[in-house]
Each structure stands twice: as structure tokens, then as C-alpha cells.
Chain A
């Protein structure tokens, strides 16, 4: 079945440091989404990437979709304590039924003040 691998599993940073999480799929994706889940909370949508090589920015967050549409990354510049949480990528394999997103394992980000 489709695998979406996400690394690292955990990341501890000092406030102000940068953070990056990576997703790799075994198959070509139609699109990829990123979600953030705060401790004790529910996933909240951040962004969707659709085009090969696409780069999108949201303030300190930069999202990339690889040229082959098999990998993606989320980079946070100058982390803040409010960035704490688990970041998930979720991909839709090309040709797969609508709605059948596969989530990566997530990266748990801890930010030390």
C-alpha cells in the first residue's frame, strides 16, 4: 500500500532556531496537505500543494512540493513556543479515490524558551 514516510519523528529546538520536517512517498502524489495538531487538540489544516515544484509561504512557514511529486517539506524559520505540536503531512496517491489521504507519522516539535 501507499507509504508516506515522515522524518524526523521528534525535534527539540531552542526558541529562535529553525525547524524542518520532511515527507517522502513511495508513489507519485496528486497533492499533499500539511496539518498541525497541538497537544490535546485536533489536526488543523495548514496548506495544500498541488503542482510539481510548488513553494508556498505562510509568514515563517515555507512549504515545498518536490519536482517528482513524491516528497515535500515544511520549514519554520525562527521557531516560537506557539509552534509546539505535531506536524503531519497527508498525501493523496494519484489515481486513488477522493478522500483517501494517507498521513505521515508526524513530527513532534518541542520548542524550549
Chain B
């Protein structure tokens, strides 16, 4: 199984709503990522989890709250978002090798989020 599964595929939420995005992988990867991608732009790194611990937070606003309940799951909790937060949210995972060398990242299909 070389898949990263994200749910939901589409989400429309109001600015006062609380919602969560979910990501799951069963490849035994110990590094998991959240990216944000606007149309015709590259993915922007938001968070990196390494062995279920948050290792990188790219100065993301606190209305985005990541969580890694176990080695297979990654959540992104959303609260009080703004319309400019509308984007494709991509989850990815990779093996983590000693020495810090990146390995191939497997991306999920993404959640297309619209904030109204």
C-alpha cells in the first residue's frame, strides 16, 4: 500500500466553524507533512512531524492546529479561518533516514478547502 489517504476531499466551512482534516498512511513512514497549495503555486510547507513529534512549524497562524495521534495518522484542526485560507491542503509522508537526507515524499490527493 503506497497510498496517503486524505479526508474529506472537499470542505466548505464558515469563518466561525471548527473542522478537521485527516490524513492516513500505512507505509511505516515516520515523517508526515502538511502543505498548503494555492492555484498555480507550489506547495508551501506548513508543518513537519517526525516520529509523532512536531519538528517544523513554518510560522503558521494558530488557527491551524496540527495533531499526530499515532504514526499512521495526521490531523489538521481548523478554527476561525479566513477566506484567504481557501486552498488545497496536501498531506505527505516519507521515510526518515539518519543523516537528515530527504527521501521520496508521497502526497495524498488533498482536501480542497473553501472558507466562506
| A binding-site residues for B, Cβ under 8 Å | 30-31, 33, 35, 41-45, 48, 50, 88, 92, 97-106, 108
Closest Cβ–Cβ distance, residue B95 to chain A (whole Å): 11
Contacts of A99 in B (CB 8 A): 31, 33, 45, 48, 50, 55-56, 94, 96, 102
Contacts of A35 in B (CB 8 A): 105
Q: A31-B102, A33-B104, A100-B45 are in contact. List 13 more A-B contacts (CB 8 A).
A: A33-B102, A33-B105, A42-B108, A43-B107, A45-B104, A48-B103, A48-B104, A92-B101, A98-B100, A99-B56, A99-B96, A100-B48, A105-B42
Report Cα–Cα, A72/B15, bound state, in Å.
42
Which B residues, 60 to 116, have Cβ-Cβ distances below 8 Å to chain A? 90, 92, 94, 96, 100-110
A103–B55 CB distance below 8 A: no
Return 22 A-B CB contacts under 8 Å, by A number. A30-B102, A33-B105, A41-B109, A43-B90, A43-B92, A43-B107, A45-B106, A48-B102, A97-B55, A97-B56, A97-B100, A98-B100, A99-B33, A99-B45, A99-B48, A99-B50, A99-B102, A100-B45, A100-B48, A100-B56, A101-B45, A101-B102
